[in-house]
A = this chain, B = another copy of it.
Amino acid sequence: MAEQTTAERAAVLCDAARSGDRRALARLLTAVENHTEVAEHALRRLYPLAGGAHLVGITGPPGAGKSTLVAALIEVLRAAGRTVAVVAVDPSSPITGGALLGDRVRMQSYASDDGVFIRSMASRGHAGGLAATSTSAATVFDAAGFDIVLLETVGTGQSEVEVAAAADTTVVLEAPEMGDEVQAIKAGLLEVADLVVVNKGDRPGAQRTAAQLRAMLVPSVARADRDPDRPTPKRPEVLVTTAMTGEGIPELLVALDRHREQTRTGETPAARLFRAEAQVAAVLAQRVRERLAAPAHRATTRAVYDAVARHELDPYAATDRLLALLDEGPPDRG
């Protein structure tokens, strides 16, 4: 009975959000972030209605100008009559904490524009992982009819990079290089890039950095040789922008649209399949946890964890026991 009411409440929120009610949309996003029951009902309802939006991940090292680029992209998108939602993953980090604040204020100018919705998300405490929560938030925006959803994260954490990498198109931002120490960025981040943007293009070294990146990103023949079954990976395009003035942003939008068209043809795009697997894995892990925590199994489960904590049982043997428990079949809901 109670569950029925939750489902109905979710349905009402979904319908309202889809008809443009921003408060309903905000409440759905809060539900998603807190993994409530409303969120599950809402996502079940919204998922089949989603899939039309273009999910764009934007990541890069602190100071590359991600928030400024997002603000510039919003401007160009709105001028083109397209609607845009932003999921800004805000690590409680000193680096981006400060920088984002300024751009947040800048983004306040869109507060009265129904074609823009900006949502910040904490980077901690997401059951199932940060990427799963952000993807669910993107699903809500997608089903609510936004044309493009920007997922903005800092590129200095495994979970944070995964958020951007799970998008249809992943943009990696770089600042012009000052020296040799930037090799480290490339190694870690470039592998997830569909597009590479050298921002702060008005600074000395921007064009040189772009040229270096282009040279670096030539697909290695040696690698293609090693695994002849795999198609040669597409070389990410390298663009130069100056987000602060808007220079290069229309060209970035063209590149984003082109990447999307390229991945749309043929089979299910790899990014969508990857995202689907990650989302199902998160729900699956949640269901397994729920089953183990059910009254019939709770005591055994707790004893198993205790034994592992005391090093009397190894995690593999413990898993075997828990799987045996689950194989008895789903417990009666208590």
Contacts and interface: CB of A to CB of B under 8 A. Distances in A.
Contact of A279 (B272, B306, B308): B308
A119 interface: no
Nearest to A182: B94
**Most chain B CB atoms below 10 A, which of A189, A284, A313:** A284
Copies of this protein in the assembly total 2
A309 B273 contact: yes
A281 B277 contact: no
A161 interface: yes
Interface in A301-334: 304-306, 308-319, 322-323, 326-327, 329-330
A305 B189 contact: no
A154 B50 CA distance: 36
A123 interface: yes
Interface residues of A, number: 74
B317 A95 contact: no
A209 to B, nearest CB: 13
| CB-CB nearest 5 A-B residue pairs | A157-B157, A92-B188, A97-B184, A47-B314, A51-B311
Interface of A: 40, 43-44, 47-48, 50-51, 61-62, 91-95, 97-98, 123-124, 126, 130, 154-161, 181-185, 187-189, 268-269, 272-273, 275-277, 279-285, 287-289, 304-306, 308-319, 322-323, 326-327, 329-330
